[in-house]
Structure 1
């Protein structure tokens, strides 16, 4: 297969993944998705499995169950039955069987105390498929902003990055109790460590909610912090914004050396503007900030 033909195949498969993200509540059967790819059903099924290492049916089921797992772990409003219906299951017991088969926990147990290691392993086919996406940026996608000094409430995650979802869950619970929900306080993450090069035991990131209120003593270890003012290169990431590594590599490896700028002293950080599953995954929006050294006069 020529490079041009390979890229056409990749573009068709990219179109299918995007369609799945946009239409999780609709018909995502083989007939519908093969039409999106403009392949025959038999050829599409073979090509999808060969490209992503998972069948179309399993990929769609995982995408729906993954959204359901987020609703159970991070969204307190919906009942398990409502989450089951939202995932396309007419009966809660069928949803429970599928959920347990994929994540080794019942939906109720996962809501109470998620086991993130089996969850991450189960979601690996989704993650692996999306790493094959050819998301690219250009220098025209970068803006330089003067970021204002922003007081924040901070919960630090230290240790294995695989366990970060547990910290996220605790931070969400603290925010709700403190009256600093996402609709009230802007949400930031500060990346102190690169998971590719940092030993798991030494990994650190900070989960932050904008707030200038005094932080009351609390059992969760939330403290007051500050994201300092300064010039920043900003790259907007739309969709799949949990995996910011490609965007960060573009900023550091591709954009920065040719920009004439120097990285500042504060770590890379992001502001999460809209969240999956509050919005479909392809509509999640995150601004990634690379702090820069200030220009000196003269």
Structure 2
């Protein structure tokens, strides 16, 4: 029975991955049931019973999430382009649904995003992709490296996690000004606090761009710093950001006790190698670094 359940879940995971990779295409019940190799007469009921929302609602949710991220973080993408890529025939149709889901027009969201509304809208999708379908890492996926001394420019977000989006927008704007795109400047996050284990006002994360350039006084509050050299355990996480916390927990609770290693007095940090929304969520790549003595 356990093997049968794993096989069933693998077929549904195949559907979720297909949706992530084909959001611009027609994702009707016939297409998705064929991907899962289930009868189209029963697939919709199966999907809804398992995940708590219909395939159509789930697809729409993912399209709205990706559209929201592009509106917030990709100012060069036009609203018309985003609407068409989201499967809508016109910006007007896209705008109607966007306003229904987030309470703002796409233009208003781009100017001043309602981050709390976005979090509420995507919560059910987060639970599906980040929790139910996440795969636990294996011990042999962890390697030990000597991390080099890395000068970085840092914007520290201090406060409620739901306001992190505003700090990210400022960080991206500064990088554009300085011509430090991710392709030429590695992106790191230093995880000073776990948002689930601290008060909202105590949450802190450092947004970092690797650079040797001088960091002059600026309106964004970005300063020069460095990630120190030292031994690190590294685990590559491929998938949705919402399951990243489980991968971090694996390093602490599974790998570390069996490794015989001790932790260095420096926070755990990550390198964002491949980003959503530029890549499908299930193909985003993050390297997790656990500093060791």
TM-score by length of 1: 0.95
Decide whether the 8 Å contact of 2:26 with 2:87 is kept in 1. no
Aligned equivalent of 1:197: 197
Deviations 1:224-265 (A, max 9, x none): 111000111111111213541011011111100001111111
Aligned equivalent of 2:67: 68
| Cα 1:281–1:109 shift into 2, 3 Å | same
Aligned equivalent of 2:230: 230
The answer to whether 1:188 aligns with 2:196 is no
Decide whether the 8 Å contact of 2:48 with 2:54 is kept in 1. yes
In 2, Cα distance between equivalents of 1:23 and 1:169: 27
Decide whether the 8 Å contact of 2:84 with 2:90 is kept in 1. yes
Q: Which runs of 5+ in 1 are unaligned?
A: 294-298
Aligned equivalent of 2:139: 139
Aligned equivalent of 2:36: 37
| Cα 1:17–1:244 shift into 2, 3 Å | same
Aligned equivalent of 1:96: 95
In 2, Cα distance between equivalents of 1:128 and 1:241: 12
Aligned equivalent of 1:117: 116
Q: Which runs of 5+ in 2 are unaligned?
A: none
Cα offset, 1:3, TM superposition: 3.2
Cα offset, 1:53, TM superposition: 1.0
Aligned equivalent of 1:17: 16
Backbone CA RMSD of aligned residues: 1.2
In 1, Cα distance between equivalents of 2:36 and 2:283: 21
In 1, Cα distance between equivalents of 2:136 and 2:74: 32
Look up the SS of the partner of 1:244 in the other structure.
Answer: helix
Task: Indicate the larger mover: 177-186 or 48-57.
Answer: 177-186
Task: Indicate the larger mover: 18-27 or 143-152.
Answer: 18-27
Cα offset, 1:271, TM superposition: 0.6
In 1, Cα distance between equivalents of 2:282 and 2:10: 16
Look up the SS of the partner of 2:108 in the other structure.
Answer: helix
